[in-house]
Amino acid sequence: MAAGSGSVALAEKLQSLNGLFAIHKKKGPTSADVLNILKTKLLKEAGIKQHPMKRKRQALKLGHGGTLDSAASGVLGKKRGEKKYTTVGELGKATDTFDALGMVTEEQSYDHITKNDLESILKKFTGNVMQTPPLYSALKQNGQRLSCLMKKGEAVEAKPARPVVVFDLSVQDYNPPLFTLNVECGGGFYVRSLVNDLGKELSSCAHVKELIRTKQGPFTLDEHALQEEKWTIDEVVKAIESCTELVSSEGACKKLKMNPQENTEQVKEAD
């Protein structure tokens, strides 16, 4: 590869990076798509030719610890830790994916539901609760994601209900058929399942119309998630430094060093 001294310096800076940072995922692409876009941008800036999808002998390795639905936006971050979401649900319609991307499977009246009804039912879904994951999810069956199997038309077994924790649920807005919730929860929780279950409890049905992850672990959307227009080598360097200090202040440095694959965005992550 022929390159000037500037390109060589950028390439060396990029390849020397090793740390974690949070990014802002837009609505539409999958989490994997977002990482490939980020990787392509960084490699192009450094003048390095490498196919972003190839995993062997990579000049730059990126990974994420937890997925975010393609229909959702917000912080793409660590698999573990507290998460916060703002979600807009729509009453009266259920879909096979539990969100707006799916096919409508049921329609019910919602005229009988009041804001007080919704607020009252939230208590049942707060605390340590059992939740059944949606069929369209990143969970796997025989090594393949359920969502991929569903799209192929193959038989999929529903996963059993599992324990999850919800720290706080509140109604931000109610303008039927739409309602907006603030959700604070632990790992493994599906907001889509929550909204679907709420619709049933209210003697109707519902699906997620919009979903934004506003916080994951110590990383917030407004303060720490790197916007796409700042996906440059210098900005990544700053983000890594900032996020490392943030995690260190929470006493998590030791854990991150012991478990690098759980980092939010791990440059040089192991294959």
- Per-residue pLDDT of 45-88, as tens digits, reads 988 877 655 555 667 888 776 678 888 999 986 656 789 999 99
Mean pLDDT value of segment 88-105? 94
- Asked if 77 contacts 219 with a C-beta cutoff of 8 angstroms, the reply is yes
pLDDT tens-digit series, residues 99-117 = 998 899 999 999 999 999 9
Grade residue 140 by pLDDT with cuts at 50, 70 and 90. Answer: low
Q: Is the pLDDT of residue 262 over 60?
A: no
pLDDT tens-digit series, residues 172-206 = 999 999 999 999 999 889 999 999 999 999 999 99
Question: What's the mean pLDDT when you consider all of the chain?
Answer: 82
pLDDT tens-digit series, residues 34-54 = 989 999 999 999 888 776 555
Contact residues for 259 (Cβ-Cβ < 8 A; gap 6+): none
Residue among 33, 69, 197, 234 flagged as catalytic: 69
Give the model's pLDDT for residue 155. 60
- Asked if 62 contacts 25 with a C-beta cutoff of 8 angstroms, the reply is no
Q: Is 99 a catalytic residue?
A: no
Contact residues for 175 (Cβ-Cβ < 8 A; gap 6+): none
Grade residue 146 by pLDDT with cuts at 50, 70 and 90. Answer: low
Q: What are the residue ranges of helices labelled H in 30-163?
A: 31-46, 115-122, 146-151
Beta strands in the chain (DSSP E): 23-25, 73-76, 83-91, 93-95, 104-107, 127-131, 140-141, 144-145, 162-175, 178-185, 206-216, 219-220
At 32 the three-state DSSP class reads helix
- d(C-alpha 83, C-alpha 263), whole Å: 15
Which percentage of the chain shows pLDDT scores above 90?
50
pLDDT tens-digit series, residues 212-234 = 999 988 889 999 999 999 999 99
Least Cα distance to 122 among 53, 181, 34, 63 occurs for 181
- Strands 73-76 and 206-216 turn out to be parallel
All domains of the chain, ordered by start, with CATH?
12-68+226-262 (no CATH), 83-216 (3.30.2350.10)
Least Cα distance to 70 among 148, 125, 172, 154 occurs for 148
